[in-house]
Every structure is written in C-alpha cells, then in structure tokens.
Homo-oligomer: A and B are copies of this chain.
Amino acid sequence: MSQACNFIRGTMMKATIYDVAKEAGVSIATVSNAINGKGKVSSKKREQIFEIMKKLNYQPSVIASALMGKKTYTLGLLIPDISNPFFAEVARAIEDQAHLSGYSVIICSTDNKDERVERYISLLEQKSVDGMIIATGVDNPDILAGLEARNVPIVMLSRENDALSVDAVVADDYVGGMMAGRHLAELGHRRMAVLSENRKVSSSRERLRGFKQALAERQIPFDDADIVICEHKVEEGKRAALALLGRPEKPTALFCCNDLLAIGAMQGAKELGVRVPEELSIVGFDNTILAEVTDPPLTTVAQPIAGMGKQAFQLLIEKLTEDDAARQRIVLRPELVVRGSTCAASFPR
C-alpha cells in the first residue's frame, strides 16, 4: 500500500503531489501538468492521474503553488464595519462574485481608523493576497501610495481618492443626491436640511452637491447652516434631528446621506412628537434592509450594491491578469425608492 506511510497514529496525512505521482507511476511534473492543463499529457495518463487524485482525496496546496509565484486566490476587503448592514451587503455581493472564480475574501473592519487600515494592509501583504478592494476611508494618502509603489492591485469601492488615479467603482452619488432633492422639491418642500457625513467622505460630499444642485435649479433656498455633520451612526442622526427640529424655522424635509442617519432622524422626530411623513419627510441613502423595516418604511436612494460588488471584483481581476490594464472609473446609476417616509409638504409656500 503506497498509503502505508501516510498513517501516523491513526491520523491520515494529507496526500501530496508525490503520493499521486508515485501511485500513478509518473513524475510529479506530469501530475502538475495534468492538473493545470499545461504541456502535453496523454489522455490515458491524465485520466489515470485524476482517478488516483480522487482515490487519495488529493487537494493541491494553494500555499505551495503560491510560493512558486501563482496566485493565492484570496483577496482582502477593507470596509469600515462588517456589522453595518450596508457594508455587509457589499461584502456579500463581492463574496458571491469572488466565489465564482474560486476566490476567498478576508474581511477587514477598519472603523475608519488609519491605524487599523495599516495593520490590516500589512497582514494582507504578508499573507500574499492577490489584491484588495478598499471601501473604507483612508485619510493618509501615503497609505494608498505605498500600495501602488509595492504594486499591490487595488480597487476602491464607493470611495475615491482625488490625489491618486486609482481604479474605482462608485454609485453616481451626485445624481443620487439630485434625485433626493428633486423628489422633495416636487413634493413641495421649501425648507430642507441635510444630515451629512464628514467632508472627507467623497460620497457624502457628492450627494450633498447633487442635492444642492437640484434645489438651486428650482430656486429653492438652501443655506449651509442647514447642514449637520454626523458620524455614520443612528444616534448621530437622532442627535442632529433633535437639534434641527428645535430651531424656530424648522425644516419640513430632511435628506440624510445614509440610511442609518435617516433612521436616527426618524427616532428623533418621534421623540419630539413630530409625525413622519405628515410633518417631516425623510429620505435616506443606500437602501439597506433597514429601510424596509422602519415604520414608516424609508424613502431612500438605492445604491446598486450587487452591481458594484460585481464590477469591483471584475476590475480587480483585470488588473491581476492584464499587467497594463488602463485605469478605470466605473459609475453606476442609483435609483430612488419611494416608500412611506416622504409626502407632500403640508404648508407649501
């Protein structure tokens, strides 16, 4: 039995390419060629080899072949937080696409802290991932520059970096912001406010810009004092809504740069006894599962998450295989999903 030496105290060692070569009476080179469809291997031998592989339950070691310069079929996904529904949905979209090509994805929740970003990137490089998809904020531009210099393939998802011309797939945030603004304007709202993320977040910046543009086109007044900057958290949305609704000239509609903020705003309104949507219309952004679950359900701008994940993965694969792939920026169109949190302004001017 060629397997005899394979048993050690009752535990079977994994079969290696040597085991199958010996059993098949060929060299390891031939086994390797058979597996990879390289070189010429007679079909009888090939079949024979495959049979032995099955019999020995042989699984080639990705580790070993990676050491010879082949791919690890593993990639890193940097996101702020996997427990945030938006990023969880993004992760699923990427995972599904990756899995079709035998790729695995390592999750890296950064909490938007550069320190964590750097730690994760270092780990991922030591583990020789084939590439990274970056959907988290990275403040220090040197971090991305370093990645470029070390020739690590990356694509940005839902974020961008103005300084570096790096591949990216994003939703058309500007248009999404416009959709929100137009929707509320058409409902007759004239006093609106915005809950936005930090200006460093390119997507929020664009959404806000689009929103303002929609109002400007309709000569609806909007002042930067009507913008409240929040972190990406429910409580922050609530806090902001409480503040805005406490003002003398309180808004009749709120545009929130993500669903979490919108939900917080709904909670704030409820706490003050302000009815949504009758007294306050709210529109969010992202269209995560949360938007379907609130009461009333949230009107929001849907990001094409599945499409974004798919494109990001494919872009990364292109960069891996074509050494001189041109830089690309893929922009996907968002879509307004009208649910119950918006209605006509009750006191149109």
Assess whether A43 is interfacial by the CB under 8 Å rule: no
Q: Provided the pairs A67-B64, A82-B82 are in contact, do residues A12 and B293 lie with their beta carbons within 8 angstroms? A: no
Interface residues of A in 111-127 (CB under 8 A from B): 119-120, 122-127
A85 at the interface (CB under 8 A from B): yes
Quick check: is A11 within 8 A (CB to CB) of the other chain?
A: yes
Give, as a whole number of angstroms, the nearest-CB distance from A341 to chain B. Answer: 11
Docked Cα-Cα span, A72 to B67, in Å, equals: 13
**A89 in contact with B83 (CB, 8 Å):** yes
Q: Min CB distance, A66 to chain B, in Å?
A: 5
A67 touches B59 (CB 8 A): no
A50 within 8 A of B: no
- Residue pair B63, A91 in contact (C-beta under 8 Å): no
Q: In which size bucket is the chain A interface?
A: 35 or more
**A59: nearest chain-B partner, CB-CB:** B126
Taking CB atoms and an 8 Å cut-off, the chain A residues in 59-76 that contact chain B are 59-64, 66-67, 72-74, 76
A127 to B67, CA, bound (A): 12
Complex contacts, A124 vs chain B, CB 8 Å: 104
A234 cross-chain contacts in B, Cβ below 8 A: 289, 292-293
Contact sample, A vs B, 5 pairs, CB 8 Å cutoff: A61-B126, A83-B85, A234-B289, A293-B294, A294-B295
Q: A59-B122, A59-B125, A266-B295 are in contact. List 10 more A-B contacts (CB 8 A).
A: A62-B126, A64-B67, A72-B127, A73-B123, A82-B95, A88-B88, A95-B109, A104-B106, A234-B293, A289-B290
